[in-house]
Amino acid sequence: MAVLFQCIIHNFYENRAINFILIRYTLDMAAYNEWSTKYNPKGISSMTKTYVLDTNVLIQAPYALQCFEDNNIILPVAVLEELDNLKIAEGETGANARQAIRYLEQLRGKGNLTEGVSLPEGGILRLEINHINEPLPQGFKEEKNDNRILKVCKGVQKTTDNVILITKDIVVRIKAQLMGITAEDFTTEQAPVAKEQYTGRMDVYAVEDKFSNFKKKGIDSKDVYELDENGERKEVHPVLNQFFLLSADQSTKKTQLGRFDGERIVPLRYKKTMPFGVKPRNVGQYFLQEALMEDADKAPLVIVKGMAGTAKTFYSLAVGLEKVMEDKDHPYRKIIISRPNAQFDDDIGFLPGDEQEKIAPLIRPAIDNLELLVDQDEKERFANENELSGKIAELFEREIILPQAMNFIRGRSITQSYLIIDEAQNLTPKQAKGIITRAGKGTKVILLGDPNQIDNPLLDERTNGLSYAAEKMKNSPYCYQITLSPEECERSALAMDAIKRFD
């Protein structure tokens, strides 16, 4: 027994978790208690982790302190100082900083934060004010808050195992690696990797006799199939409101378009519609048209992902103009269009003019598309630039289209409106949720974006609000989704060629 005990202690630091189990269950309880008193006086499980949080985690997800289960959390004092500086910031940044601070105040009422306070979800939160003299690599500035946080990580490592820095900042994660610190992204709000994300569409095959009756009766999902990489038939498990391109298995040139309504794959209702004179040019646009044309009571949310040039904004505006100006039932009072910039939700007060003039640069892409819609004669469209500009200006003057600053959408209840959020890949998950929940009765929300073109430095293809919302709203009866493929680019031959070459 004594020899076994010495061997385990000797190799303990090689694999602490495994040896902890060996000691616990191989030795008798007296030997285990002797080991525990000498080598683990605090009774800390080898599986417990200590997370050091960066400020940007709380700014994106102010509830992050509640997401680490029974593990321990350390907040460097530099984070507290940054939260204090950001609490007066405009928009989402300031609101999230204040929310995080209020939660810390609740915890402060339960004990001393510098000594550690138990979290309701388990684990302990501690405010770390030490380790200011930890050395940094040459070239790292002492006064920089990121480096102050790295100092804390390095200092805590000396007395604690399993220390992990959680930060949204890629550069900080790289610097952490240089210092031998484990660093990770905040993954609670992550969508799957791009190739595994829900696209809202599927190509399937149908047996000939069932295929021929599709327009009259639809088709049961059991009567369609995919082909795997070996050419073998694969069973299909459709998602509610998922779109389908069906091919007859005896003649693949025969195709039909449908949508799964929860029971069967049914034909598209709006296939022959031409909203504002626009006709779909590819399969993806037929699916997109179906989603946009559906009434707000059946499809109040549409999420569209696709590369540049796939007509996301163009088609959304075409349907909006059709519904607001041409539809005799006038289902929407107006089109509201908004677009986050790279510095989402920043104060726009420094720009000259009123709100509409301030946000005009952000909606320039929408105006480019309106030029194509208000005058669809390609030969004469730009013959009179003043006349063309006047037609577009009239849409804004009559408030048929209303540009809206993103930070003014929060807190509103938007009713009977057609709300377009362009470049939604620059939203955080919380911001996407905030916009979707602004939809009042009769409002349709359209989120458009390309997860491959993200300007927000703290987001990526998995953590952006567009992709996150798409995964969360998958299988919702109130949401239609479609991802447009690169082959469905309609901007120009050059744009299509560039997409293929740069992919």
Q: How far is CA 458 from the centre of its chain?
A: 11
CB of 382 within 8 A of CB of 388?
yes
Q: How far is CA 109 from CA 36, 56, 122, 412, in A?
A: 33, 25, 17, 33
The domain covering 277-502 belongs, at the CATH homologous superfamily level, to: P-loop containing nucleotide triphosphate hydrolases (3.40.50.300)
Specify the DSSP class assigned to residue 380: T
Lowest mean pLDDT among 36-50, 206-220, 333-347, 354-368: 36-50
Pairing between strand 163-166 and 182-184? parallel
The rounded distance, in Å, linking the Cα atoms of 185 and 350 is 33
DSSP element (H, E) containing 386: helix 385-397
The ranges assigned to domains in the chain are 2-39, 50-184, 204-267, 277-502
Q: What is the pLDDT of residues 265-292, one digit of tens each?
A: 999 999 999 999 999 999 999 999 999 9
Rounded percentage of the chain residues whose pLDDT exceeds 90: 60
Does the fold of domain 277-502 match that of domain 50-184? yes
Check residues 374 and 150 and name the one with the higher pLDDT: 150
Lowest mean pLDDT among 46-50, 194-198, 211-215: 46-50
Q: How far is CA 467 from CA 92, 120, 191, in A?
A: 19, 30, 6
CATH of 50-184, one of 3.40.50.1100, 3.40.50.1010, 3.40.50.300, 3.40.50.2300: 3.40.50.1010
Q: What is the pLDDT of residues 14-37, one digit of tens each?
A: 344 434 433 333 434 444 344 344
pTM for this entry: 0.77
Q: Answer yes or no: is pLDDT of 484 > 80.
A: yes
Q: Which residues does 426 contact at the CB level (< 8 Å), separation at least 6?
A: 340, 341, 342, 344, 449, 454, 455, 456, 459, 464, 465
Say what the pLDDT of residue 149 is: 97
The rounded distance, in Å, linking the Cα atoms of 335 and 425 is 20
